[in-house]
């Protein structure tokens, strides 16, 4: 399961309606995020959020990138939430479980 799929499952469990807004540009061979940072768009009772999903070890770099984008400023000015999800694998006995660190920017 990819980090985006894990985030979708996590958000749906918290009552959000979620869709993927990241797309693959086949001409440039790159993934493009909404406003430069949104992998997922989520809505629930009067709230709208763009979510950037990454590994826990890459959160600082993603945070720095997001905060420098003009799209982030415009999104926040429109009262949108920006959530950063960092995923890491943790051992629980013999089992490997995925844990998310959720940060509101």
Flag whether the pTM goes above 0.75. Answer: yes
Residues of the chain with pLDDT under 70: none
CA distances from 63 to 12, 15, 35, 93 (A): 23, 25, 14, 32
Q: For position 40, what pLDDT does the model report?
A: 94
The pLDDT assigned to 35 comes to 83
> What integer pLDDT is reported at residue 48 of this predicted model?
93
pLDDT recorded at residue 38: 87
- Answer yes or no: are the C-beta atoms of 83 and 52 closer than 8 Å: yes
Confidence at residue 42, expressed as pLDDT on a 0 to 100 scale:
94
What whole-number distance in Å separates Cα of residue 1 and Cα of residue 91? Answer: 17
The 3-state secondary structure of 33-63, one letter per residue: CECCCECEEEEECCEEEEEEEEEHHHHHHHH
Q: Which CATH architecture has domain 3-104?
A: 3-Layer(aba) Sandwich (3.40)
pLDDT value for 36: 81
Residues forming a β-bridge with 85:
53, 102
């Amino acid at each position: 399961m990819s980090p985006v799929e894990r985030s979708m499952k996590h958000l749906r469990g918290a009552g959000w309606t979620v869709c993927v807004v990241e797309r693959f540009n086949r001409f440039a061979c790159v993934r493009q995020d909404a406003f430069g940072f949104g992998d997922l768009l989520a809505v629930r009772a009067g709230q709208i959020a763009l979510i950037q999903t990454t590994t826990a070890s890459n959160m600082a770099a993603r945070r720095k990138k997001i905060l420098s984008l003009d799209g982030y400023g415009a999104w926040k000015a429109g009262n949108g939430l920006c959530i950063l999800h960092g995923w890491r694998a943790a051992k629980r006995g013999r089992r490997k479980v995925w844990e998310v660190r959720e940060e509101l920017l």
